[in-house]
Structure 1
Amino acid sequence: MGASLHHHAGRCARGSRRAAGRARRLVTPVPLDPISVRRAVEAALAEDMGRAGDVTSAATIPATAGARVAIVARNEGRLSGLQLAEAAFASLEPAITFEPLASDGDRLGAGDVVARIGGPARAVLTAERTALNFLGHLSGVATATAAYADRIAHTRAKVCCTRKTTPGLRVFEKYAVRCGGGANHRFGLDDAILVKDNHIAVAGGVAEALRAAKAYAGHLVKIEIEVDTLDQLDLVIAEGADAVLLDNMPPTTLREAVGRIGGRMIAEASGNVSLETVRGIAETGVDLISVGRITHSAPNFDFGLDIDLG
């Protein structure tokens, strides 16, 4: 891929000044798999460059011209996606230097410089949009997640994502959720057995579905089952499961459900979760709160690429 994808822990700058001493590091996510990063970046660059490449840069910029640029946050939020941004530049030109001034998981303010880049101007400008697209989308997911996580920080609950992700970008969006202080649910259909209402209907009931799941599962496969009522929950408690998904229950019912579970399995709440309701849900004592909108509806985080020709 060219230049190293290792991104360094650094101090974030505001304009040309370093914001020394400001507490920003909130989480330190495990780095992304470089093979997944390379494949995603190369596909995005191929989509953008098409058959002839960046004809605008080729037509207007001398082949020998260099450029120094900075990626600057235009608003407040959480950072995610630096590996992909760096890879976008490195994939086009190994000679490009990429100096991170912040790390994924950091809290950003408007005007913070997250990275400085230097190298052949054509390659820098060709990679610009791909780098900022990844960075803006993933930082948007991290920022949306952090908004929920901050609301429930005083409780035991964790906000977690779902499979409601952008096709092809799930691994990166789930990474961004961790950057925002959230937790990951299963990555795909093969991770664990999650018995939903339609499975229950076809299987003939909660108990029947659970028995079938247990007969099928290996000793390392977790089983979670969705319930809509306390009567269904009692059947799950009787049969046993690793986790139970309490779907669309009001806080009073959730509190009763958590009491009945008594710590025997993980209690996850879902449905009707918003920034206005998440605190009340978390205070019922559930362990997890799944929120689809942190991935499928996260606003883009605004970054700019400011160029220095001096």
Structure 2
Amino acid sequence: MSIRTVGVIGAGTIGRGVAQSFAESGFEVVLVDISQAQLDSAVSQIRRDLLVQPMLLGRPLKEDASTIAARISTATELDALAEADFVVENVTENWDVKREVYQRIDAICRPGVIFGVNTSAVPITRVGSVTGRPAAILGLHFMNPVPMMDAVEVVNGHFTSEETMSTTLALLAEMGKEGIVVQDAPGFVTNRVLMVTINEAVFCVQEGIASAEDVDKMFRGCFGHKMGPLETGDLIGLDTILNSITVMYESFKDSKYRPAPLLQKMVDARLLGRKTGQGFYTY
């Protein structure tokens, strides 16, 4: 199947970045969200990002920013995905929400259209099992900020076919991104390691072992990381961190994934990081 139109569900930080990356690569994009205000905000941010991206990355855009942005259309109904050749879902890490989305788009999209699950922890095999196309389901774990990242964690579910995998890897290559294939397990590789690291860093702050600033300073200075774990948590969103570590705790029944009480408290207080202007740091 020739892929020319990509559906992107969810116009949050990650969905916005996915839409921008596909549009930059020459694809028509249908960006869907339940909120028109969120869609308008996402498109405005994409336009701003396209203007500053050459300066931030040191590489010019292949086309004019307005030409790229014009490839993105928006909709508040999933029915707009009827003509999509490929779909990437980026809704909240809540199984009940995801299940409903997949059952709906399974009935809307043509047979054979691949669904990429952009999730931090929800099992891909579980997603496939609630659709009539389990062989066309795989994980596509894009990292934030999506346009700046050269690799994508691609998750091979129990039912994922070789054709689905090869088509998706070729699509990512067309976007200039390398797909790194891992097997389906809660948290996969990136989040199974990263979320525990961030959660443990929160415990260190909670217990008064070190400040958030000093925890991050050690990771940058001692290990050469570009960002410390708490800076990374603020970038991803502390609500996403909590959701992901909770899914792994429930999946593995292992106490090492127990969410730090301070993390839960900050999420309850809506101190979520960059997107709310306050997390472990002020923005």
- With the shorter chain as reference, the TM-score category is under 0.3
TM-score, structure 1 length as denominator? Answer: 0.23
TM-score (norm 2): 0.24
Q: Which has the higher contact order (CA 8 A, sep 6+)?
A: 1
Mark the structure with the bigger radius of gyration.
1
